[in-house]
Structure 1
């Protein structure tokens, strides 16, 4: 992923050097297990443990000679130890015993970073929802004025959407945090299952129950579906900010720095560029999720068609999502809210947004539904809605936004329960 949409901690996790450090750790752990089984001498194990992690540059240099990354890594790794000890490295293993077990460890760590960012976003949404619980605004359906609600209610809905995304990510993390060290077609023919148990246990991983040399790729597909869903939920927040930021609405505005410049030609512009960026990144995440599904069906025990794909989609998707969740939290935390503009939008309707309450009052007093509906509809199409209602003998003085918030505490109690998760 380009540096523009990468944060340092996630970018470092997916660097070539970190990958080779993880590979080295897997090889050392495997040798430890073999030593416990009496297959690797303790003297060789000490040399293997002390061998430095090869540089990414050295592995790349050797790969130009071998055209095989794992073999190039092993050659570079073994350069750091005596030849008599190097012969025990990778004993009984195949390439993807190393690659997939290390990948499971990396995916688990990447998920932890992403879940942490998503939890921060949830906490910020909850805090801002509480702050604006009584900030009355107009609700909109089909883009049109509907009934009064509050800005806090909007934010609470987003907070619960992020909470559901966190739960999906947690479930997906469990599925991808697995490894396998089982040999060429997963039968453990040349390696004791104890090696797998030792390595995966040390790395905090589960074990693929029926390995085929590789970890099943439906696990990765599940993760990127969860990542894409988080992205879509963030896009929903961003879309709301974009709509409420329009010049003729201007109920909210993105946080600005002193360096902000909105247009190269029009100095007055205050464009919602962060929200637009978040919306665009969500499109990438959906594409990566679809691509991950293409990796599930492989030939027989395995082929290599998945490798080139996941070298791109796994680091890119998790890096983008981490950036997106972090940027969304910053956006919501600094979002400017204009309650006066929100009240003004309600006033602009000249009472039409209270039509459902008028209809309910008429029906409760024994009115005919069809006649009452048509009468209110006709009045709403006129020039002065409230005056026209009064000519029909309908009292309108009690029509205020607060009428629609009488049971708002029901939702607030649910929000408080969500807030407790971050305390």
Structure 2
């Protein structure tokens, strides 16, 4: 995919594309048909690979306008092009929401895998940077102003903590992504009729989850926490990356000069510039991710009856945009931290030039009556070590 409105979109490849979504919907229909056959409900010759609809995304998209979602159009095409036995049993017991929700979850799983890989790369790079610049003197700033002495290692460790906070839940989330099987109103009524019993209907849902490598669960038609959890995880990643990007952009200003991107961008009219383009593009994603997450929560709160009239529909494109933009930001952040340059000499010079930094230390000394310590960086080194230990554990557990 390409998107002139969102430079870097190509880095997300086919993730959450129309083609990927179509393939996932077909996979759900194929797997369900196989489950009906395996359960002895449908005859053996009803099994089909359903590849007859591959490449029909544009046609399905146009026809989706009739019923408000692409599943009806897909099922019509599949039935028209499949043999009579497969066509007869296709989609029986499912509803459009079952197919669409489960397909969305399949697409999101691929996104979470990619983001997880990028986060692991970032954690390695940031841990290396924090170790390398662990004791380098630097100026800590609060509310944009000079505050106290610190170290570059402490700053980078805070970045690392943010990425770890985002990365750690991703694996658990990926393993708990739920299948959606509920039928027309989430009661499995049609499936119960097909299977001949409630136990048989529930077993079919579990079998579909196993086939698609998803978590079995009860229907969540209008309980949209599975979607909002995904959105929250992606937004949390963008939040962490936005913090790093903002610090790098500020630190790369010529008057600060403590940080620099390994491969900055140029200007169409000012050849002297070395723009922090990765930071700019990451901040763009961070600034827009939150509203996407908010839209998913608003849609969840607006759920009504057994299938929402618009709130459900608002999720699909929102989740796709958030997911693809998160993947792009993840790739940009991996590139940024792997090539980031830290100017220790400039950081030390900025610290030396700041006035009034030891006023707090003098106050503490007067209170305690003890001799002041030489650098006034407190537990910074111990805190860096704690973060590095956390990063090592994460990388060992995820390898």
Both structures adopt the same fold (TM-score exceeding 0.5): yes
Which residue number in structure 2 is paired with residue 13 of structure 1?
A: 15
Shift of 1:309: 1.8
Where in structure 2 are the equivalents of 1:361-376 lying within 5 Å?
361-365=365-369
Query: Secondary structure of the residue that 2:190 maps to in structure 1?
Result: coil
Q: Are 2:362 and 1:358 aligned? A: yes
Which residue number in structure 1 is paired with residue 127 of structure 2?
A: 126
Which of 56-65 and 108-117 deviates more? Answer: 56-65
Where in structure 2 are the equivalents of 1:52-131 lying within 5 Å?
52-57=52-57, 59-60=59-60, 63=63, 69-131=70-132
Q: Is the 8 A contact 1:354 1:399 kept in 2?
A: no
Shift of 1:291: 0.6
Q: Are 2:300 and 1:293 aligned? A: no
Which residue number in structure 2 is paired with residue 337 of structure 1?
A: 342
Where in structure 2 are the equivalents of 1:32-51 lying within 5 Å?
32-45=34-47, 48-49=48-49, 51=51
Sort the Cα spacing of 1:5 and 1:82 in 2 relative to 1 into closer, same or farther, 3 A.
Answer: same
Shift of 1:307: 4.2
Shift of 1:154: 0.4
Q: Distance in 1 between matches of 2:22 and 2:255?
A: 54
Where in structure 2 are the equivalents of 1:411-422 lying within 5 Å?
411-420=383-392, 421-422=394-395
Which of 269, 273, 276 matches 2:277? 273
Sort the Cα spacing of 1:51 and 1:407 in 2 relative to 1 into closer, same or farther, 3 A.
Answer: closer
Q: Is the 8 A contact 2:53 2:74 kept in 1?
A: no
Q: Is the 8 A contact 2:246 2:283 kept in 1?
A: yes
RMSD: 2.7
Sort the Cα spacing of 1:415 and 1:51 in 2 relative to 1 into closer, same or farther, 3 A.
Answer: closer
Query: Secondary structure of the residue that 1:107 maps to in structure 2?
Result: helix
Sort the Cα spacing of 1:266 and 1:54 in 2 relative to 1 into closer, same or farther, 3 A.
Answer: closer
Shift of 1:199: 0.7
Q: Distance in 1 between matches of 2:17 and 2:269?
A: 40
Shift of 1:178: 0.9
Which residue number in structure 1 is paired with residue 198 of structure 2?
A: none
Which of 201, 226, 246 matches 2:253? 246
Q: How many residues align?
A: 381
Which residue number in structure 2 is paired with residue 201 of structure 1?
A: 210
Q: Distance in 1 between matches of 2:61 and 2:103?
A: 22
Query: Secondary structure of the residue that 1:149 maps to in structure 2?
Result: strand
Deviations for 1:62-110, whole angstroms, at most 9, x for unmatched residues? 7279656222212222344322331111112211121112222222222
Shift of 1:53: 4.1
Which residue number in structure 1 is paired with residue 194 of structure 2?
A: none
Q: Are 2:228 and 1:225 aligned? A: no
Q: Distance in 2 between matches of 1:224 and 1:288?
A: 8
Sort the Cα spacing of 1:336 and 1:37 in 2 relative to 1 into closer, same or farther, 3 A.
Answer: closer
Which residue number in structure 1 is paired with residue 333 of structure 2?
A: 328
Q: Is the 8 A contact 1:44 1:88 kept in 2?
A: yes
Q: Distance in 2 between matches of 1:135 and 1:24?
A: 55
Which residue number in structure 2 is paired with residue 378 of structure 1?
A: none
Q: TM-score, normalising length from structure 1?
A: 0.82
Shift of 1:158: 0.9
Q: Distance in 2 between matches of 1:32 and 1:163?
A: 40
Q: Distance in 1 between matches of 2:101 and 2:65?
A: 24
Sort the Cα spacing of 1:180 and 1:64 in 2 relative to 1 into closer, same or farther, 3 A.
Answer: closer
Q: Distance in 1 between matches of 2:240 and 2:81?
A: 48
Query: Secondary structure of the residue that 2:141 maps to in structure 1?
Result: strand
Query: Secondary structure of the residue that 1:236 maps to in structure 2?
Result: helix
Q: With CA pairs under 8 Å and 6+ residues apart, which has the higher RCO, 1 or 2?
A: 2
Q: Distance in 2 between matches of 1:409 and 1:252?
A: 20
Q: Is the 8 A contact 1:208 1:215 kept in 2?
A: no
Q: TM-score, normalising length from structure 2?
A: 0.86
Shift of 1:229: 2.3
